[in-house]
A and B are shown apart, each in its own frame.
Chain A
Amino acid sequence: ETGVTQTPRHLVMGMTNKKSLKCEQHLGHNAMYWYKQSAKKPLELMFVYSLEERVENNSVPSRFSPECPNSSHLFLHLHTLQPEDSALYLCASSPDRSSGNTIYFGEGSWLTVV
């Protein structure tokens, strides 16, 4: 248990569906992250939020829409995804955005797009 909880753990969705991934951290951290892990590529940073402000959008297609309503919660809204978007989506948090602060990961949400 890392203190970062992701739901759902598994999600199957059609290409026309709209769904959301949820992440909650119980560590009092100020920065939260979305990473994508697929079989074809190393871990890719998607978004970074620091104090609820998005500080990086790493060239992610607009069909992925993040939301950070407060420093404890992070969402990834999914809309009209493609089969190649099937992957493990990992949420992470760190105390703040400064260098050297350890990043803690959740268990991930396995997404399959059919």
Chain B
Amino acid sequence: DQQVKQNSPSLSVQEGRISILNCDYTNSMFDYFLWYKKYPAEGPTFLISISSIKDKNEDGRFTVFLNKSAKHLSLHIVPSQPGDSAVYFCAASARYGNKLVFGAGTILRVKS
């Protein structure tokens, strides 16, 4: 039973446009959500996070939106750059420091 789902295995976007990556979760106990970016042959690197007391968090070109009623979060990248091409993982936790549950990942390709 996948508690965190990323239903799009891949996404292709033109450079300069917006990339929107989506993530759905089923466990209502999750209260902390993170996005990670992963390049081949490297470990995932933290991108941005949001706690359940917020519905939006921004960091430069990256914005995460949380819709608790729909159990849905999304990552917006504006403008998209070729260097953003990577696998993006959504993750959720029921308690800070407790186990993280990851989605299967979405491959983002930004075309120049």
Q: Do A and B bind each other?
A: no
Instruction: List chain A positions with a Cβ less than 8 A from chain B.
Output: none
